């Protein structure tokens, strides 16, 4: 009996999908084409009915977690874009590409239509529905963005980029050494967009250049909200360079 059966004794256990949310793999023979989706294709499993999504030019196919299926349908049926003014601001801060999940994330302070502001929001330019580890309440859409502003918690682009490029040296530990304006050294242990530790905030953080004997390890700051935007031709060129990366504003 696997862990899924223990947790859900009445559930159909599917050897193809293995019942483990978030599993990724190549398309198994059991998958049935359902319909073309935005940027890809929706499949389901002929045995257990779970849904899978494949981006058009990718071999990989991903299981859509069931709790995220309604949001994924909404993503498919909605055109998600931001206006030129927002795009200009986002390009200025710049984003990092997550090569595994195929999106560019730009950290920002976002005010939504009801006036709430979140200083640790991530604007996501991608080609896939919100189907993996998101908590559903954190998933939002481009058209909910009323206003955006630079967040004091955002790490400079060169620091963010370093954390995304760093390989793991131990399980879940891909250290990047950074230093605060006061000269305090920290170690970012994983891909990071923000920094918020004992009143030290991301904007003043710089790379320390340290390569070993890691100083205080600080866990990644959780993203409060994700705003999904459709991938478009040229978005990499626009978003990955970051006009502020050189420090010249």
Residue linked to tokens 């899924």? 4
Tokens for 106? 């730009």
User: Which of 213, 211, 178, 174 lies closest to 191, judged by CA?
Assistant: 174
Is 155 near Zn ion (CB under 5 A)? no
Minimum distance of Zn ion from residue 33's CB (angstroms) = 15
Rg over alpha carbons for the chain, rounded to the nearest Å, is: 20
Is 64 near Zn ion (CB under 5 A)? no
Please, which residue, 44 or 163, has the CB nearer to Zn ion? 44
From CA 249, how far away is CA 236, in angstroms rounded?
20
Is 61 near Zn ion (CB under 5 A)? no
From CA 21, how far away is CA 32, in angstroms rounded?
18
Among 4, 47, 101, 190, binds Zn ion (CB under 5 A): 47
Is 65 near Zn ion (CB under 5 A)? no
Please, which residue, 21 or 236, has the CB nearer to Zn ion? 21
Minimum distance of Zn ion from residue 51's CB (angstroms) = 10
Is 4 near Zn ion (CB under 5 A)? no
Is 42 near Zn ion (CB under 5 A)? no
Among 42, 45, 145, 218, binds Zn ion (CB under 5 A): 45
Instruction: Assign residue 9 a region (left: φ > 0; alpha: ψ between -120 and 50; beta: otherwise).
Output: alpha
- HSE, side-chain direction, 13 A CA sphere, residue 102: 21
Per-residue binder mask for Zn ion (CB under 5 A), 12-31, x = binder: --x-xx--------------
Is 223 near Zn ion (CB under 5 A)? no
Choose the stretch contacting Zn ion; rule: CB under 5 A; options: 37-45, 71-79, 146-154, 193-201: 37-45
Query: Between the CA of residue 226 and those of 63, 82, 122, 229, what are the distances in Å?
Result: 20, 14, 5, 10
Binding-site residue total for Zn ion (CB under 5 A)?
7
Q: Are residues 123 and 82 in contact, defined by beta-carbon separation less than 8 angstroms?
A: yes
Is 63 near Zn ion (CB under 5 A)? no
From CA 73, how far away is CA 51, in angstroms rounded?
11
Beta-bridge partner residues of 33: 43
Among 13, 23, 48, 179, binds Zn ion (CB under 5 A): 48
Is 44 near Zn ion (CB under 5 A)? no
Rule CB under 5 A: which residues touch Zn ion?
14, 16-17, 45, 47-48, 50
């Amino acid at each position: 009996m696997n862990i899924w059966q223990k947790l859900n004794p009445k559930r159909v256990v599917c050897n193809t999908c293995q019942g483990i949310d978030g599993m990724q793999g190549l398309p198994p023979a059991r998958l049935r084409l359902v319909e073309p989706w935005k940027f890809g294709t929706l499949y389901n499993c002929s045995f257990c009915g779970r849904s899978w999504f494949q981006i058009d030019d990718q071999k990989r196919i991903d299981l859509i977690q069931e709790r995220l299926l309604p949001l994924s349908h909404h993503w498919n049926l909605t055109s998600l874009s931001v206006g030129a003014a927002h795009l200009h601001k986002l390009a200025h801060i710049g984003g990092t590409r997550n090569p595994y999940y195929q999106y560019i994330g730009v950290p920002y302070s976002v005010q939504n239509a009801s006036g709430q502001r979140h200083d640790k929001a991530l604007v996501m330019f991608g080609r896939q529905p919100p189907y993996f580890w998101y908590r559903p309440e954190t998933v939002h859409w481009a058209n909910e963005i009323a206003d955006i502003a630079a967040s004091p918690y955002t790490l400079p682009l060169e620091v963010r980029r370093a954390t995304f490029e760093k390989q793991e040296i131990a399980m879940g530990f891909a250290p990047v050494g950074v230093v605060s304006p006061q000269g305090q050294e920290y170690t970012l242990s994983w891909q990071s967009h923000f920094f918020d530790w004992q009143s030290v905030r991301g904007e003043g953080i710089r790379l320390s250049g340290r390569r070993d004997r890691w100083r205080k390890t600080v866990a990644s700051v959780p993203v409060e909200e994700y705003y999904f935007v459709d991938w478009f031709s040229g978005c990499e060129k626009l978003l990955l360079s970051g006009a502020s990366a050189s420090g010249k504003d």
